[in-house]
Chains A and B, each alone.
Chain A
Amino acid sequence: MMQQQQPYTGQIYQPTQTYTPTSAQSFYGSNFEDEPPLLEELGINFDHIWQKTLTVLHPLKVADGSIMNETDLAGPMVFCLAFGATLLLAGKIQFGYVYGISAIGCLGMFCLLNLMSMTGVSFGCIASVLGYCLLPMILLSTFAIVFSLQGMMGIILTAGIIGWCSFSASKIFISALAMEGQQLLVAYPCALLYGVFALISVF
């Protein structure tokens, strides 16, 4: 039924004001100043990266669950490249293995943690945590440049580094996913994954 037509309040009959800069100089000036810094635009927050690195390096430091909310893959990418570079310095060109194992390992951990935790977890978070905890493995492969890891000392050092990596990773996962009491259950698959990385470093 025809109702009382409401008055049109739109602006279709009025031309929109086009932007007329007073001068070319000020046009460039205001846009340039309004832009956010490049790193902020790219999402790389150095302070957070440093915080997460410190959390990994201090095994006994209590992890803050909220730091893993943002998926930051810049740090892990740098660490994987550094790991490959230190292997390269030892004479092993194995970037492909590092990429393949990290991809499959992240996928496996993603499936496992999704099944074990009450809340789900995103793939980016898993990749980020596992990438950050690769940092002690870089120390191992740096050591392997100079000394051979196939003696008794190498075995002890390798076992220690694997334990350090998996302990840090499980600590962060536990705090982020609220899975108290299951740290050992999460640490063991991480230990297997880092064990494969150690296998590349040693042999």
Chain B
Amino acid sequence: MAAAASGGRGGGTAADWGGFEDNMQGGGSAVIDMENMDDTSGSSFEDMGEMHQRMKEEEEEEEAEGEAGAAEEEDGEFLGMKGLRGQLGRQVADQMWQVGKRQASRAFSLYANIDILRPYFDVEPIQVRARLLESMIPVKMINFPQKIAGELYGPLMLVFTLVAILLHGMKTSDTIIREGTLMGTAIGTCFGYWLGVSSFIYFLAYLCNAQITMVQMLSLLGYGLFGHCITLFVTYNIHFHSLFYIFWLGVGGLSTLRMVAVLVSRTVGHTQRLILCGTLAALHMLFLLYLHFAYHKVVEGILDTLEGPNMPPFQRVARDIPVVSNAVLNTTAKAIALTL
């Protein structure tokens, strides 16, 4: 195998198609021994390891020969004159293999870095409960920066709870999503809001010179969804518009005030405070309004009827005779008349 390989390489540097015949055994024999054939396609990945090794040996040989000779050979290879023999193909495939290997190892190390999120999930139940309750209490002291817990367990669970509440609301009101699934819509809405608005407010905070990190922003907005969860849980089951507005202003307002107060304590300057907190308040309150009206269509008709959710699953409906057009009726009648 090594002899044939070196013969192949020698043939490659000498001529184009003539080198191919060098590999034939016994001159005019029609039988080709595949073991001695130099595989010139060079694109099989199983052979890549072996070819990589051979390329290394080849490079060492070329270095020993001298730079002038190596330069000439390289020129020839670059111009693709030797490409017809598969050397260019081999090099391209080899490069692809190396790039693929590098990308795979990079992706693997990126995946293994899920451990960087580990410290954000190190919480006790007492802490989570305390933070949930605190998220509804606006702070009074805005003169020095308020502490924000950089924790992701609570916010993540709150987002999933919101997804569950949305799903429940959609199911009880028989909402039909045409372009997608209920689960996908709910997850997309909630996670999109949490991640998207957090990123946007973080960007605004960067512009307005506020002292807040991305994890803290995610945590703050996540805990701010607690108010949304309570409001939607209550108003998806008790259908009174006035009750919703009371909850919207009361519960939603409290959680918004809390977030606004924390941000104000971390920002300097009136204009910056106004921009940042105004944007956050508007987005937060409008999101609650949107969730109520878009995902739980309270059809007033259902409240009026007596059945409601206790409708029997199967109903007998009188089967109508399908309506046919007049033309068909007329031609049928004429045909029957003719036959009589």
| Chain A residues within 8 Å of B, Cβ to Cβ | 91, 111-112, 114-116, 148, 150-151, 181-182, 184-185, 188-189, 192, 195-196, 199, 203
Contacts and interface: CB of A to CB of B under 8 A. Distances in A.
A115 B164 contact: no
Contact of A181 (B124, B153, B161, B164): B124
Nearest to B308: A150
24 contacts: A111-B114, A112-B121, A114-B114, A115-B117, A115-B118, A115-B121, A148-B313, A150-B309, A150-B310, A151-B309, A182-B124, A182-B125, A184-B125, A185-B123, A185-B125, A189-B157, A192-B161, A192-B164, A196-B167, A196-B183, A199-B167, A199-B168, A199-B171, A203-B171
Interface of B: 114-115, 117-118, 121-125, 128, 153, 157, 160-161, 164, 167-168, 171-172, 183, 309-310, 313
A203 B124 CA distance: 35
Name which of A111, A185, A199 has the most chain B CB atoms within 10 A of its CB.
A185
A162 to B, nearest CB: 11
Contacts of B309: 150-151
Contacts, number: 44
A15 B118 CA distance: 60
Nearest to B125: A184
Given A115-B114, A115-B117, A185 B164 contact: no
A91 B124 CA distance: 43
A111 B171 CA distance: 28
A188 B114 contact: no
Name which of B114, B121, B122, B123 has the most chain A CB atoms within 10 A of its CB.
B121
B336 to A, nearest CB: 44
Given A114-B114, A150-B309, A185-B153, A196 B164 contact: yes
A185 B160 contact: no
